[in-house]
Structure 1
Amino acid sequence: MPPVPDNVIARIDTQDVLREEFVLYLQANYADILEKKDEEILNRLLDNYLEQRALLNYLQTQNQLPSEKEIAEYLQLTGKTPLLHTYDLHEKRILALNTSLILAEEKFKNMVETETPLVTIEEAHNYYEQNINEFLKGESFCFIRFSSGYKDLLKDARYWLVSRKKSLDFFRKRYQDIQIEENCFQTSEIPDPFLKTLEKLKPGRVSRIVQTRLGASVSYNLLKMKEKVPPRKLPFEEVEDTIREKLFKQHLASLLARKKQDLLQNSRIIVYPNRILVFNYSGKFPVSHGEEE
């Protein structure tokens, strides 16, 4: 067999991986790392790049390669469209290839997602029972917060809130400069001085004006207590969808990892370190000096 060409840095099955393809990939996505020549990171990037190339080869066998429209949309979304005006035809082809590698990950994930079994109610309920601490909610306060950078505005608002018992719609229409938020937070999530103020309030009561400062910015706040909720265990029905989503993501991640591992095991990847030139290869794939293959 003839020697491997000087510009071939790796081979995946019978496909050559060219040095300029990888360099353009780095320039487009990791220019700062390429400039610093951080060998540890560059080794990981090459390994990832070769895995993506193997993944793209697999998608080709499944007729699932990214379309020209998807490539164009990604280039526009990431602000790389101007590169098309400076690259020659060969460089444009490499750019399309390297963009396909990025899109291939999402394509592959979507394919595997259709194979991932849905989480049953029994599986979700078992998780709920075995991880009950995740669903214990601490003492919580439900309150309305009125905030503004103008203290006099909040003084006027407090009058209408306390003396005239006006609704939130009234404040939204009357005071454009007052922000109104309705919140329910656990005590551990509420910053001082709001927590200390809420602890002194009874449901339906309105606080005095609370001043907070963030750097040079000053904010004035009113807090209206709605209710104090004691510690409790969230019922299964309330968290079932969250559990199902969490378990499905875990199953998907596990299946993705297994499918990728199978794909790589079925691919023959060889790296030619003396052809890379940009850095010294010490990654995870087998190496060859490339005299013959």
Structure 2
Amino acid sequence: MPALDLNDASTLHDFRDRMDAFRCAATANPIRKGQSFTLKFSCNDAHDVDDRHRTIAPSLQTLVSTSTTWYLNRSLQSGIGENAQVWVASHEPQANEANTPNSIVLKIMQESFTTFPHVDWEDYDIRSYVVQEDRVSNAVTAYRRLSDFQGSVLPYFFGHHVETAPWGERLDILAFEYISGPSMEAVVYHNEEPRYARWIAPETYTKLAKSAIEALLIVHARRILHNDIELRNIFIDTEKCQLVIIDWEMCSVDQTDHDEWVISEERKLVDVLHGVGSSVARAMVLWANSRIPQLDCYVSD
């Protein structure tokens, strides 16, 4: 099939026709609970594990490092319009939806379910579209470049595998550790609940926020932009009391105008973390403004 040329209306039409056909086929035969994939990945051993890093159960290390059949047992994200279908998976075919030390997350990237380009789009929107293969390549590069952060403020990344769906579409499967802690989205919108309120105690929240901000500064120094900093993409590592930034599949690596976007993404993270709306959030913003030159984030009263 011809490569997608975003400036060529004919290849854009062909691409859209192909994606429409794949979407119809995928809708008729969707990825579902109980479906299995036999995959071989690897554990990251590129750094010395310290007190910031979560421990991977030896049994899980063995499973991801050998050819293992993984069964999808709980959907975290699915449906048309999503960047990927995200599932908790287990090596046990009859596993229930409860997570075990041997659970992993499989992110199944399926381009036909994304919002793909149309000839009626504005030129800027068409030029901004990144095909799935490039998004995956950027994400894998970012995880490797940030290997020393895997297992601390990033999830452990076990690898990338390519499968072909029954309807002929390429599926890029990325495998990660399962983060059992709550998302910051849950904490911000439900912090009156005891199970979430504990995370906005001043000392605890300050530690959480600083872990994410300091990590993003180093990420930017390594010429990576996350590009999707949202509450839903930040989870709490309850064991180490630090934030974990997930979903790097929209990231940019070595972008030519990288430096122009750095400060806006740092402001975005601080604004997102400010969402808890308490005095501790105000103190966090004051600290961030002093830590990052030219940040100048608004401090609420």
Structures share a fold, TM > 0.5?
no
Of the two structures, which has the highest relative contact order with CA contacts closer than 8 Å and spacing of 6 or more? 1
Larger radius of gyration: 1
Task: Please report the TM-score for the alignment, with normalisation by the length of structure 1.
Answer: 0.24
Task: Please report the TM-score for the alignment, with normalisation by the length of structure 2.
Answer: 0.24
